[in-house]
Structure formats: C-alpha cells, structure tokens
Amino acid sequence: MMTIQRERQIWVVIVAAILAVIGSSMASAQTTILPLIGTIGSCTYCEHLQDSIASADSSLDILLSNAELDEKSLWDAIVAAAGRGVSVRVLLDESDWAPSITEKNRPTIDYLRSCGISARFDDPSVTTHAKLAVLDRRIVILGSTNWNEHSFYDQEQADVSIDDPVVGEVFASYFDRLWAGTLFPGAVKLATDSISADGQLIVPLPETVDTENYPAVLLKLIAGARESIHVVMYRISHYPQYQKSNTNDILDALISASSRGLDVRVFMDDCAFYESEREANLQAARYLSDHGVEVRMDDPKITTHAKLVLIDQRTTLLGSTNWNYYSLSKNNETDIAFIDAPNVAAPYEAFFQKLWRGGRLPGG
C-alpha cells in the first residue's frame, strides 16, 4: 500500500509539471511538434520513426497493440540501436479474449529476444491498444498506426512526433510502470479542472483501466468550442441501453454543439471488413445524423484508422482511442491534446477536409 501511495504521489508531481511547464513550452525552442499523416501508398510515419530510432542515444521504449515483422528496415533499425548500446524495451499486447492478436505478436517477441532485446507481453487481462514509442525519454511518437504493412501503407492514419522533455518523461514514466506491472486501475488519472480550451497547452493523455483522462479532456474541449468540431474516427458506438456512458456523453456533447450553431462534422470508417463493428458505426452515425450532426463515411474499400478531433481549427486531440466503452474506460491507450495551437492543427484540418470531400452518407 505504501508503494502504491508513493507511485500516486510521483504521478501527481509529474502531472503538476505538465500543467505548470508545458503551456509555456509550446513556443519554446525546447519543443518540436511534427504532424505525421498517413495516406494510402505512403508511410511518413515509418520514415520518421526509422530516422528517430537511428538517432536514439540512450533508450527506446515501444508499446504496441500489434507489431509484425513486415517492415524489415524498421526492425533492423531497432536491432542496430540495441547493438550500439541503446536500452530497448518492447511491450506488446497479449489478449485473453482474442488469441489471434497474441499469435500475430508472438513472432516479433521471439525475434527480438533472439537478438538479445528485452521484449515481452503485457498483462493479458488488460488490452493494450496504444501505439507508442518513446526515445531518450524526450521524443514521443504516438497515434493510430499499428506496426504492420497494412497499417503502414493501406490505411489513413493520424500520428504525431513530439520532442519535449516533460512530455517525454510523462510517457516514459507511464511505460516504466506498465513494464514493472505497477499500473493499477486509475493510476494515471489526470486532474482536469484547470484544463480549458483557452491558452496554449500540451496535455499528454496516458490511459489505463478506469482512468478516463481522454473523455474528461475531450468533453471540456467540446464544451469550449466556438466555431467548429471536426472528427475523424475509426470506431464509434452508441449505447442506448446505457444512458450514462462516456461515448454517449461525447455524442450528446457533439449534438449540443451542433444545436448551438457550430459546424460539427464527423467522418467515420465504414468498417466493411468487420460486420459487427460496421453495424455499430452505422448505428452511431444514424444517431448523430438524426440529431442534426453531419456524418460521412469512407469508401468501404478503404480503412480510415485515424482517431482525430479538431476544434476551431486550433486544437488537436489524437492518439489510439476509439469512441467505444473499452477504449474510453478499460484499455491501455495513449493520446495527446495540443490546445490553442493552430499551426499544429492546420495539416490535420487539411487531412479532414480531404477525407470529407471524398466521403459518402451513412449507408450510401
């Protein structure tokens, strides 16, 4: 119990550093933010990730839902980093509800171990849905991209690279606790009272069971929106049988914003390859459309895997979190919000507009 309390106190100190330091660091020389937008046929994310790994000096921590051995040059870069003395740790999802996930990840763990790299599975009772790399405890690369060839080259993705010592330490500390097995439910809960839609701020959003940082921050940002809310989301569920749920709260907040006269538009994946997910997305799309929110879906032949929210073309929230019960409440997820940062939002807004122009009405 003493250990848990001490870990909680350490996390509170880190969160205080976020709120005290990162707001002013947006414009400082210490912080570099690079949007990484993946379009079909190209992988800006891969290229940047490989270059970053090649430049790592001391440590490389990788936390992934899915990592396969398709992109050989990427794994070569990781093995080379370990060979020159970089401390490499790789933690992948082991699933007690979807054995296929475990089996896809197992060859990667076996390969890395054969190369002398520390690699293992997470707690099988908790789903790790994150897509995170932390280099030298200061460079963070996160977003929606899994590590397999299909994700790299055949899907629309939204990722970002942040070079900032405070952001890096937040996610490095989060990884440390996952690696050590000390990330208990609610362990990284963020006090969101002082977060608002006004004033430049970077808010790292690491998640675990019962943390719910992402929905808390998102609802605050939606409530503070003045002009527009644009969403690109792979998965959305509406739960009519559970009126008080994070997803329902988010959808109802969008409907409320639309009723206030804001430009609220939601672009969703058709999920044509997974019938149950396709039906869930269609139900959510109908719920939003029936209540005045504009919704479009992608071509069924295309997978739009991004999880992206843009507010007033100034604030960006992105990462690994879908809008369904497990993503919002029970998974290990990694997201980040860039509040009042129009230069960061601009390329993602252009991405949204491109997708929107090519979209179609739900069920169309």
Length of the chain as a residue count: 364
The pLDDT confidence band at residue 95, using thresholds 50, 70 and 90, is confident
* 323 token code pair: 């809008």
Looking at the structure of the chain, the number of domains it has is: 1
pLDDT of residue 191: 84
Quickly list DSSP for 119-186.
EEE--TTS-B--EEEEETTTEEEEES--BSHHHHHSEEEEEEEEE-HHHHHHHHHHHHHHHHT---TT
Bridge pairing between strands 263-268 and 294-297: parallel
| Cα 306 to Cα 37: distance, rounded to the nearest angstrom | 9
How much is the average pLDDT of 52-77? 96
Tokens 């490095």 label which residue? 172
pLDDT in tens, 301-356: 999 999 999 999 999 999 999 999 999 999 999 999 999 999 999 999 999 999 99
**What is the CB-side half-sphere exposure of residue 160 using CA atoms within 13 A?**
27
For range 128-149, the mean pLDDT: 97
pLDDT at position 198? 81
Q: What percent of the chain has pLDDT over 90?
A: 80
Please tell me the distance from the alpha carbon of residue 39 to that of residue 314, in angstroms, as a whole number.
Answer: 22
Region 106-127: mean pLDDT is 96
Q: Which residue has the higher pLDDT, 97 or 236?
A: 236
User: Does 230 fall in a domain?
Assistant: yes
Output the CA torsion sign for 339, 236, 145, 12.
positive
Within 8 A by CB and 6+ apart from 206, the residues are 170, 171, 174, 188, 213, 333, 334
Cβ atoms of residues 71 and 149 within 8 Å: yes
Helix, strand and coil content of the chain, in percent to the nearest 5, comes to 40, 25, 35
Q: Give percent above pLDDT 70 in the chain.
A: 92
Which 3 state secondary structure label does DSSP give 295?
A: strand
Name which of 5-9, 47-51, 52-56, 289-293 the model is least confident about.
Answer: 5-9
Classify 80 as helix, strand or coil.
helix
**364 is a domain residue:** no
Q: CATH number for the domain including 252?
A: 3.30.870.10
User: Which residue range(s) make up the domain with 196?
Assistant: 2-357
Q: Which two tokens stand for residue 29?
A: 């020389």
Is 14's pLDDT higher than 50?
no
49 assigned to some structural domain? yes
- Domain assignment present for residue 363? The answer is no
The pLDDT, as a whole number, for residue 96 is 79
pTM tops 0.85: yes
> Does any domain span residue 269?
yes
In a domain, 362, yes or no: no
